Chains A and B, each alone.
Chain A
Amino acid sequence: MSGNLQKVCLKILKEYFGDIVAKVGDTLFQKGSNPLRILCSTTKLPLSKVKEALAVLIKHNLVTWDEWKPGIPCYTLLHDRVLLILRYPRYVYHVREKFGEQSEMIIDVISKEGQATASHVIVTSSLKMYDANTDGMNKGSFEQQHITARNHLLNLIENEYIQRCPAPQDSNKPVPKLTVKAEDLYSLTPEMLDLKALQQEIQLRRAGEGKPEVSHPYSDIFWRINYDRFHIDFRDSEIRNSIVRRVDPLAGECLGALLKVSYGRSDPWVSVMNPVTVSEIRDHLKDLKYLEQYLKIIEEQSGGCVQKVGDAGGGQYRINMFNAFQSLTHALIDNIVQDRFGSKAARIFRLVRQHRMMEQDQIGEMSMIDKKEANILTYRLLHDNFLRIHELRKTLAPSPANKSIFLFHVDMTSVVRMILEWSYKALYNLMVQRETRANDNRRLLEKHIRVATIVENLNQSGGTEDQIQEVLDMMTPNEKEHLEQVNKIQDKLHVSEIALDDTIFILQMFTYYQTL
């Protein structure tokens, strides 16, 4: 909760849902939980608009409500979820890598809709698949498209990437409570889908009949993305990548197997998982020659992520997520200090962190840096809040005879918080820059879209080559070149935003495990 976070959230909401939703969301962020009437008066928007905006936010799982006074709900913005909107491309990409294009479409549809019924997801994703493969796919395979889509959806639900939305128990109450039974959370039974109706709707929609009236069973059951499941995957890949960097790809495989076995044993979000034996890991990695050796190395090299706890069953190992993210965050912040202040400052920073409390002279001596330079660097780190000072006095009474001792130390949680703030600020700056650049070149971009639409229409209505060429020539070579540059910059900014989210992810994980 901070000014930077608020600005980022506002920007995201504005970009994805427009001004009104952004205004309502921002008010909720700044004022906390509020009932509808107060929202109307603070935002100075008409009731209907605020209602609409809240509906959009609720549909995208960004707002929850509670009973404020009997019969009157108050709404709360889940600001962490707002930030997750930026992670959607990553979710989609992740699913594509793991399950293929059809699953990618499904996640794409759900992430755009927020919450959607199973039949809607299947129909829309099937149609999208069809659009994406107009040439390559023959008609026969498309007949079965809805089956493929259903299978992919089932697979995603089974793997818990998609979960069922909670529904009101008693919709007659003015402030319904949403619940879902634990056993229903990840179950999509066959009778919930009417395959014939699905096929029918797909065909009608393809034939170009805007919104055909096909009724589907269970249209009150909605599905949404299970963020946590994705985060477990991201978290695992962070740890695995770090081991691959440190040791080699095979060690990454071992760690992957270890994680897989561990998840069968314990809740994935506890900080220390239950131990597993080597023989169990062996079942997953039958061909690996040096499994025991690798585990030994990982134990040494993973920065406390993997710990040996006993010798039963060929050796027992357990995963310690707390340590894993502690060492990852340390590495991250070391890198940040190094890039910002140079490698000598990074040496001092690491030195102080490892020794907990250090005196000025000690720092100079142990870091082997010229005393003057060491002092300057230390004070610069102090100035930028990476280091802190602790004053030790022999007596409380200030007297010149009692020289007080100044000890430098690192307060990791506050450094992490500061870096998170920076990241939010950087994110905001990148988004502002992207928006400004898009606005500056609005005329050009709009012209490009217009030309593209005309060409598309001509293509469909069977225009001649000359006609198309004539339309294409509406863009001068100069404009084309400029357009390319603008697009390149937009891509660069967008890529940076997504990459920045990775840094934020590690820091968020660190904070999560610290507060656990």
Chain B
Amino acid sequence: MAATTDLDAQVEQRVVQLCGEFKQGITYQIIQNDMPTLELAQIVNVINKLLATGRLDMLKKDDDILVFKLRDPGSLHRVKGAEPEEQVVYKIIEECGTQGIWAREIRSRSNLHLNTVEKVLRKLESKKLIKSFNPVSAPKKKTYLLYNLEPDRSLTGGAWYSDQHFDSEFVDILNQQCWRFLEQRTVRARQVTGGPVAVRTASFVASKEVLKHISELGITKVQLSIDDIETILETLVFDGKVERSVAAEGAEGVKLYRAVSSFLPTPALMCTPCGVCPLIKECDDVGNVTPVKCRYMKEWLDVEW
């Protein structure tokens, strides 16, 4: 079965290629001449598939010969009752691809009145030819793009955004889980015999492995990429809990991470109430905030009994 699908894919590719070469369209004959080993049923199969997905158009010539042409992606003539304005707007939106376009931009490009543009956009939207979304960078700018396209990562913010909002809880959880994983590794690595270098090497984890662990944990339904997990791991580096190293694997470098502890324990300054006191700037010998009257100090000293 796998072999046939593979073959189908090959044939499909070849057919599309042929269509590209013969701009005026191709016939059965051409396909058969190109791939003589193929049976007619197979060709029909492939062509039907291409027609169903809308990549080919089937036309009939005067002499009743069927001709296949690549469907012009911008053609709106299939849409029933497409008005010229709709065509223009559709074309503009299409040109912008996955980046999407703002209604006002459409107006300036199409030279149509804003009201008209909005009407057309509503119409196209109801026909499910285009859709709108709000990019995370400018949530109030309603952006349009073709219905079958997914907006670019820079607009959706990638895996970290749900409904245009930054999912900081999700990031925090991933951050914690990654750290826990690296920490466990470090603890386990201490058991390794063979010198400190071996211990250190054992405590390094490739970002790929972290990704695998996170996917296995099942805390997220979103499929994360290596880049995503590396962004999370970078935050741990900035937290000072993890250090990064790069190792060569084949031709390219692989990022390795390992948990480390801080150089110092909590400083003594922070163990006194003055260290965390929000009023330290106001504190003085006279006035309302003085060390003698200090409530924080009193609580701290009297806490044990």
Contact = CB atoms under 8 A, between A and B. Distances in A.
B268 to A, nearest CB: 4
A306 B197 CA distance: 17
Contacts, number: 138
A340 B270 contact: yes
B160 interface: yes
B264 A332 contact: yes
Interface stretch (B21-29, B98-106, B208-216, B291-299): B291-299
B301 to A, nearest CB: 5
B1 interface: no
A212 to B, nearest CB: 46
Contact of B235 (A294, A368, A503): A368
Given A246-B263, A327-B263, A370-B168, A354 B238 contact: yes
B114 interface: no
Interface string B156-179: 000010000010100100010000
B171 A368 contact: yes
Interface stretch (B84-92, B122-130, B271-279): B271-279
Interface of A is mostly: helix
Given A422-B280, A425-B274, A500-B272, A296 B197 contact: yes
B292 A335 contact: no
B116 interface: no
Chain B, interface residues (CB within 8 Å), range: 35 or more
Contacts of A488: 304
A369 B263 contact: no
B301 A331 contact: no
A506 B265 CA distance: 13
A492 B114 CA distance: 74
Nearest to B268: A499
A458 interface: no
A485 B305 contact: yes
Nearest to B291: A429
Contacts of A248: 196
Nearest to A339: B270
Contact of B294 (A366, A433, A489): A433
B268 A502 contact: yes
Given A297-B200, A350-B240, A368 B160 contact: yes
A297 B263 contact: no
B4 interface: no
B191 interface: no
B73 interface: no
A506 B239 CA distance: 22
B75 interface: no
Contacts of B57: none
A367 interface: yes
Contact of B269 (A7, A246, A368, A423): A423
A428 B291 contact: yes
Contact of A366 (B234, B271, B301): B234
Contacts of A433: 291-292, 294, 297, 301
A366 to B, nearest CB: 7
Interface of A: 7, 242, 245-248, 250-251, 289-290, 293-294, 296-297, 301, 303, 327-328, 331-332, 334-336, 339-340, 343, 346-347, 350-351, 354, 366-371, 373, 419, 422-423, 425-426, 428-430, 432-433, 436-437, 485, 488-489, 492-493, 496, 499-503, 506
Given A7-B285, A366-B234, A493-B301, 6 more contacts: A294-B196, A336-B269, A336-B270, A339-B276, A488-B304, A503-B268
8 contacts: A7-B285, A332-B264, A340-B275, A347-B238, A368-B235, A426-B275, A433-B291, A506-B264
A-B pairs with lowest CB-CB distance, top 10: A426-B274, A499-B268, A429-B291, A331-B263, A242-B263, A290-B195, A339-B270, A432-B291, A370-B168, A370-B166
